Structure 1
Amino acid sequence: MLLRSLFTLLAYLACAPLLADTLWLNNGDRLTGEIILLDGGKLALKTKYAGQVLINWKDIDTLRTDKPLLIKREGLDSQHSQSLEAAGKGMVRLHNGTSEIVPLASIRQMVPPRPMLRDRIWEGNLDAKLDLERNENKTDEWKLKGDTRVEHGRWRHVLSGELEKESKNGARTEDNWEMEYDLDRFFTEHWFVRGSHERQVDDFQFVERQRSYGLGPGYRFWDSELGRFDLITQFSRFQLESDDGDLDFNAYSFEWDFKRLLSGTRFEIYSKAQVQVPQISEIDYVLDSEFGLRYRINGWARLSLLYELDQLRGLGQTSSDRHYLLGVGIGW
């Protein structure tokens, strides 16, 4: 019995390396690890010895993996693959009930599918920007923005916020923060309903405090290792507080959330925006939007470039507030 157990253990250890994804390169090298995705001519491979590495797709001779993948080939719709098997120079065997040998050059994209029901996914970003001016006036400004989301089964929790402070010659000129919590419940792979609660505090604006509660449907176009794209509409109740009195009103809103990885996960473009149409005669609409680009230095460090546009239209006039932010951050 002991000899049989020892033989089983040795056989498992000998076969364990074969369970990893394997790449054979044109120069004869062989790499093992976990295939993250293929996009933009770059294959991202997670290795134990060098972390995540990017490999030019044209430098790969063949490969094998036992993990399911969504594969997009030139001139064809996306198709599921149960596994891929090495099939000679520049070729790979695709298994999906049937077996088919296809050239690597015809494959444009490979992404692991995300099932509807998952144990848990946690991701987020935190970006910081510091601006120090030492001209005629001494101005110190810093801003912190972040968001995180946790998905478990059919539930998704999204928390986002930002904090901004500015002083000029020792006197405060900006001091505000905002926080939003969203709870999503998915009914299908694409459709969900969202409940939201948001709070804003600004010591230097006419409206010092703002609270809102919203509820409405959302649609997820896609969500994969490459990113996501969601559209949400909501009916909201707003409560504004100022020294001149309080104001309550209803509003309709339209929101999008977009993220896309480029160049084998090295670059990330993203955009978030919300258009609100209050049910009061003084305001036509309120736009709160941001568009950004992140450069992933490694698995957690980021450089970020962000453009923010806030706009309000009412009483025949439009006021806009634009910000350009360059900062550093972390992601997970």
Structure 2
Amino acid sequence: MSFQKHNYAKSLLLTALLSASSAFADTVWLNNGDRLTGTIKSLDAGYLVIETAYSGNVRINFNDVKTLSSDTALVVRDTSLQRDYRAKLVAAEAGTVTLNGVARQGDAAEPVSQAVALDSIKRVVRPRPFLNEASFSGRIDLAASQKFASTDTKDYTLDSHAQLRHGMWRHRLGADYTRSRENDTDSTYNYGAGYSLDHFISRKAFWQGRVSYRRDQVEDLTRQVSYGTGPGYQFWDDELGSFSVSALLNRVHYKYKDGYSEDDYAASLRWDYVRYFMGQEIELYTRGEVLRSFNGETDFAINGEVGTRYNVNSTLSLYLKYARHQVSGSRSGLNQSIYSTGLGIKW
């Protein structure tokens, strides 16, 4: 009897825990009778993304959704693009959802609690808190190929980016490595790393400090070192992507293969853009820096990349990327274009 009571108590506890966990989860009801619980991440281009504990990110055609609910307020935009809502979603009749929160149209805002048709909703985004606990994310892109013919060719590419965010601070670290060999002779061999620290003054404005290093074992320009500081602006940062720019005053150092070195001050413009489509399945991105020297022999420099990515799931992706490294001036500079495709790993 005591054994049965013990099992009964465990069952009650388990049921209570499951009920509590589902009570603090977003829920999506489908037209076929299925129900998914987790965290609603975004709605864009007709695809709803919900993060579940059992299957990771799940993409759902929004036409298959019967109704849905959220535990916290989301940013909702209607198809007319005239109204934005900051509201909780409350399950309603089939094909509708109730919005409880605030509606904004231009500069005007008013409380709202009304049922709207699902087909009147164009976009849903989960807002990211301005002040948050420490969060760490990153990605590594890998590509390698080897060809045996009249000439033996080996190509290796590695590119990594990591970000740590806590409170008013954001740390970003990036590193890359590229090497191409033909018959044991390097045709391309370079690597570099960069670190930036952002301190947010407001929700969008921040002050940035940055240092970068690049080494080349083949070209005449063998080393580039830059460090600088300046203001930046975060236009947006949510589940559908992010876009930020910064303008820096830099101190740059160049060293050449013949031993000549050059130091100068320069101004630079940096950018970082990411946009997701098709329920975060497709990703377009570009990041880089354009630098202009004030009075040195080196006039102009650019380090940047642009690419697209197919996200197989929340961890693995396939990417295609073009990277550009160029330094122009009166001395022998640098002019590299690198195309790569491979596998990406995200955490």
Do they fold alike, i.e. is TM over 0.5? yes
For 1:145-294, list aligned pairs within 5 A.
Answer: 145-242=159-256, 243-280=258-295, 282-294=297-309
The aligned residue for residue 83 of structure 2 is: 77
Residue deviations 1:283-325, cap 9 Å, x none? 4322222111111112211111001233444459997432221
The aligned residue for residue 62 of structure 2 is: 57
Paired residue type of 1:90: G
User: Could you tell me whether the CA contact under 8 Å between 2:224 and 2:253 is conserved in 1?
Assistant: yes
For 1:109-120, list aligned pairs within 5 A.
Answer: 109-120=123-134
- Larger mean CA deviation between 113-122 and 319-328 belongs to 319-328
Residue deviations 1:23-47, cap 9 Å, x none? 2212222222221211111111222
Alpha carbons of 1:15 and 1:224: their partners in 2 closer, same or farther (altered >3 Å)? same
Paired residue type of 2:278: S
RMSD: 2.4
Correspondence 1:105 to 2:119: yes
Paired residue type of 1:146: S
Take 1:316 and 1:238, find their aligned partners in 2: how far apart are those partners? 16
Gaps of 5+ in 2: 1-8, 102-110
Alpha carbons of 1:297 and 1:31: their partners in 2 closer, same or farther (altered >3 Å)? same
Take 2:14 and 2:309, find their aligned partners in 1: how far apart are those partners? 46
Alpha carbons of 1:78 and 1:49: their partners in 2 closer, same or farther (altered >3 Å)? same
3-state SS of 1:208 partner: strand
Take 2:38 and 2:209, find their aligned partners in 1: how far apart are those partners? 40
User: Could you tell me whether the CA contact under 8 Å between 2:173 and 2:196 is conserved in 1?
Assistant: yes
Correspondence 1:93 to 2:98: yes
Residue deviations 1:151-195, cap 9 Å, x none? 100000000010122222123333321010101111001111111
Paired residue type of 1:324: Y
User: Could you tell me whether the CA contact under 8 Å between 2:232 and 2:245 is conserved in 1?
Assistant: yes
Residue deviations 1:235-255, cap 9 Å, x none? 100122233322111111011
3-state SS of 1:284 partner: strand
Take 2:14 and 2:342, find their aligned partners in 1: how far apart are those partners? 51
The aligned residue for residue 22 of structure 1 is: 27
- Larger mean CA deviation between 317-326 and 72-81 belongs to 317-326
The aligned residue for residue 125 of structure 1 is: 139
Take 2:336 and 2:184, find their aligned partners in 1: how far apart are those partners? 24
Take 2:247 and 2:137, find their aligned partners in 1: how far apart are those partners? 23
Paired residue type of 1:275: V
The aligned residue for residue 68 of structure 1 is: 73
Correspondence 1:140 to 2:158: no
Take 1:269 and 1:14, find their aligned partners in 2: how far apart are those partners? 38
Alpha carbons of 1:10 and 1:199: their partners in 2 closer, same or farther (altered >3 Å)? closer
Paired residue type of 2:249: F
The aligned residue for residue 304 of structure 1 is: 319
Take 2:333 and 2:85, find their aligned partners in 1: how far apart are those partners? 48
Paired residue type of 1:41: G
3-state SS of 2:221 partner: coil
- Larger mean CA deviation between 236-245 and 117-126 belongs to 236-245
Give the structure-1-normalised TM-score. 0.91
The aligned residue for residue 45 of structure 2 is: 40
3-state SS of 2:23 partner: helix
Paired residue type of 1:210: Q
3-state SS of 2:254 partner: strand
3-state SS of 2:119 partner: helix
- Larger mean CA deviation between 87-96 and 173-182 belongs to 173-182
Residue deviations 1:70-103, cap 9 Å, x none? 111112232211x211110111110015411111
Alpha carbons of 1:10 and 1:139: their partners in 2 closer, same or farther (altered >3 Å)? closer
Gaps of 5+ in 1: none
Take 1:173 and 1:274, find their aligned partners in 2: how far apart are those partners? 25
Correspondence 1:324 to 2:329: no
Residue deviations 1:205-256, cap 9 Å, x none? 2222221111110000001111110011001001222333221111110111
